[in-house]
Amino acid sequence: MAQLLKIQSEVEEFKKEYFYRNSQAEETRQKENHAATQIQSWFRACKVRAYLSHLHKKAIIIQKIWRGFTARARVRQMVKEAYFIMKMNFYNEMAVRIQRQWRGFFVKKYIHNFYARKRYMEGLAVKNELVRRELDELEELKKRERDCLEMVREQTAKVYQAHRLHHLLSTKQCPGVFNSPFRPAPHEMELLLRQVKYQVPPRLASRGRACLMGIPGPTDPSFPGTFGSPWIKTSRTCYSKPKLPPIASKKQQGLLREPGEVWEQRVHCPDLMLCLQTSYTHLEEATNQLQQQ
């Protein structure tokens, strides 16, 4: 009986303890639940962060491997292209060198032959010498023409001066200015004054009357008192017959020919222009023709 009572008392105490502990557990349930939730969230966050870090590392490894692979492939492609370009440049340089050698050989042998070029230069030198000789002759001819024209002008001027200084001619009673007794021989102007006869001054001759009578006026180029007067002695009479027109015949060649006529004959002469009309291979062609004959 005692044992039963003891067990019953312990059961009562157990119930009270159970009730007390359940009430305390009910009071702290919300706090423990919130704490457990926080612990779980922190743990799961740690797991997720660790997983994400692991994924990030693996992604970096994958990217590193892929980028290294692509970079190595790009470098290999660049090396191939550079090698190809270098090889093509070498081939082009060798081809240019071969072409240069071949073209030089071909041009020297078939186009610009050295001996043909030498013959051309020799023929050109001969032709240049002929042209120089002809030019020297033309220059000498022009110089002679200029000298002749200058001499004609000087003689015409002397004749004109003699016409104007005819009053200084020597006489039997009084020697002239140009015929000094102290000279061994008369002066040149004195001899010219003796050849030229006195002309009537233009102011004394009536121009109208002279024109009616056929006498050339003072301004006429053939008037003896001008630069264009011929070296012909004229009569002392003021009146002369009108000159008839010349007979249509070939003009006679005088002492001095016209410069234009001489130049035309010089230029249009076929014998003179023969050397200028020939080619620079004239000597070679003549040699070949003689060999064929």
Print pLDDT tens along the chain (293 aa).
677 777 777 777 877 888 888 887 788 888 888 889 999 999 999 999 999 999 999 999 999 999 999 999 999 999 999 999 999 999 999 999 999 999 988 888 887 777 877 888 899 999 999 999 999 999 999 999 999 999 999 988 888 888 878 777 787 777 777 777 777 887 788 888 888 776 666 665 555 444 434 444 444 444 444 444 434 344 444 445 556 666 555 555 555 566 666 666 655 554 444 444 456 576 778 788 888 88
Q: Where are the domains of the chain?
A: 45-111, 113-157
120: Cα separation from own chain's centroid: 27
Give the tens place of pLDDT for each residue, 145-158: 999 999 999 988 88
Give the tens place of pLDDT for each residue, 98-132: 999 999 888 888 877 778 778 888 999 999 999 99
pLDDT at 59: 95
pLDDT at 79: 96
Which tokens hold the place of 113?
């032959």
pLDDT at 280: 57
pLDDT at 134: 93
pLDDT at 189: 81
Q: Three-state SS string across 12-67, please?
A: HHHHHHHHHHHHHHHHHHHHHHHHHHHHHHHHHHHHHHHHHHHHHHHHHHHHHHHH
pLDDT at 218: 42
